[in-house]
Structure 1
Amino acid sequence: GKVLRIQSEQMRLRRRQRAEEKAQQAPVKMLFPMIFLIFPSIFLVLLGPAGFQIVRSSALRGVTG
């Protein structure tokens, strides 16, 4: 019984250590998708209306000015 208890504790410790290692690597692995997929869409939503107004006002200047 004691041997099994020691082995199970060692297995739990190894599993916990692997989980912690993977948890530390997760932000690094998420960086690439965030930079190339999420941030551009956020910038488009935030800066799109301003860009649209700039284009619209410059087009109106060309017509009226």
Structure 2
Amino acid sequence: MEAAMKILESTEDVRWEYDAEADVLYVSVGDPRPATGVDIGEGAVARYDEENNELVGVTLIGLRARLLEGLG
């Protein structure tokens, strides 16, 4: 049986930062904090707080390139 995981229970404090040079979008719930990165495929990394059993952020690698390819 899988353990329950909190995923964006509250979206009041979602923050993001885009690094244009690296083409990476960082999204976090609240202030960025230490978390375990879990590669979920296709340039996406989920950031997971194991102690509190919750998703605390997502990193999207190559976002601009993927958008242009999808539009293209």
State the TM-score, normalized to the length of structure 1.
0.26
Structure of higher RCO (CA pairs closer than 8 Å, 6+ residues apart): 2
* Larger proportion of strand: 2
State the TM-score, normalized to the length of structure 2.
0.24
* Larger proportion of helix: 1
